[in-house]
Amino acid sequence: MDSLSAPIHRGPVQWQGLLLAVSLLNFWSLPTAAQLAFVSTKTTEGYNMPLNARGFLGYRGEGANYKHKIARLGLFPGHRTGPAYRGQEQINFDGSLQLQRLTQNDTGIYIVLLYIPSILKEIGFGRLNVYEPLILPSLLASKTTVTEHKDSVVLTCYTNAVSIQWFFNGMKLWLTERMKLSWNDRTLTIDPVSREDAGIYQCEVSNPIVTAASERVELDVK
């Protein structure tokens, strides 16, 4: 485990209560930037504690060992990087770990250690999930004007998302015995069509942080 020999003197660190264990919230992000910060499991409203912290260490992966170390921060010798450093991470004097230019490869466990004189070190940890940006879904129909009990129609939702919901006239679509969804929910087949199928169709896609809906497609049944 790394050690730090000199205290940081950049002013008091604002803290919501003092705990021996501090955890990060589960964090979701798009591939832009993320800042992971200590979040106390117990807080005292309006309570700030100045800490004469000696420094912070950041790790990527399970276990605060050297091969997982991203960087350490102290007044002397300052900011030093470790084997897990990728050129996009920065530890700040408030104890936060900032990551830039995120990709899905940055998904994983992150740990920050805080050293305080005469007090046991505190550990902040959490999982960062990075999701691919959603492409606005496009909904296309094989036909938009069909004949009842004769024709079939295939509606396809073009998207890179894995979570897809179908809507009919603004309400969640309930499948009938004539409707079938593909294994990935991207294709809706109605065979044969009935007059009750006439109306407005949309697909909505989402991940844990973003939701997007397609343009509406109107099906006319003669």
Say how far apart CA 222 and CA 220 lie, in whole Å: 7
The pTM assigned to this predicted structure is 0.60
Q: Are residues 54 and 121 in the same domain?
A: yes
205: domain CATH number?
Answer: 2.60.40.10
**What is the structure's pLDDT at 164?**
95
Contact 43, 16 (CB under 8 A): yes
User: 64 is written with which tokens?
Assistant: 């605060």
Does any domain span residue 18? no
Strand ranges, E, within the chain: 27-29, 33-36, 55-60, 69-73, 79-81, 89-91, 97-100, 108-116, 119-130, 138-141, 145-146, 153-158, 163-168, 171-172, 179-181, 187-190, 199-207, 210-213, 217-221
Is the pLDDT score of 18 beyond 50?
no
Q: Which residues are registered as beta bridge partners of 154? A: 189
Contact 103, 31 (CB under 8 A): yes
The overall average pLDDT reported for the chain is 70
Say how far apart CA 79 and CA 4 lie, in whole Å: 11
Among the ranges given (37-46, 67-76, 188-197), the one the predictor scored with the smallest mean pLDDT: 37-46
Nearest to 54 by CA among 6, 124, 96, 17: 6
Distance from the first to the final alpha carbon of the chain: 75
Is the pLDDT score of 62 beyond 80?
no
**What is the structure's pLDDT at 194?**
94
Q: Are residues 95 and 73 in the same domain?
A: yes
End of a domain among 86, 107, 130?
A: 130
Q: Are residues 100 and 185 in the same domain?
A: no
Q: Are residues 52 and 142 in the same domain?
A: no
Percentage of the chain with pLDDT > 90?
34
End of a domain among 130, 150, 166?
A: 130
Q: Which residues are registered as beta bridge partners of 130? A: 29
Among the ranges given (100-104, 146-150, 163-167, 197-201), the one the predictor scored with the smallest mean pLDDT: 100-104
**What is the structure's pLDDT at 24?**
35
Question: To which residue do tokens 């992000």 refer?
Answer: 29
Does any domain span residue 165? yes
Number of domains in the chain: 2
Owning domain of residue 194: 138-221
Q: Are residues 155 and 214 in the same domain?
A: yes
Is the pLDDT score of 168 beyond 70?
yes
Pairing of β 55-60 and β 33-36: unpaired
Does any domain span residue 21? no
Q: Are residues 117 and 142 in the same domain?
A: no
**What is the structure's pLDDT at 52?**
45
Is the pLDDT score of 175 beyond 80?
yes
Among the ranges given (7-11, 57-61, 119-123), the one the predictor scored with the smallest mean pLDDT: 7-11
**What is the structure's pLDDT at 4?**
35
The 10s digit of each residue's pLDDT in 131-166 is 777 888 999 999 999 999 999 999 999 998 889 999
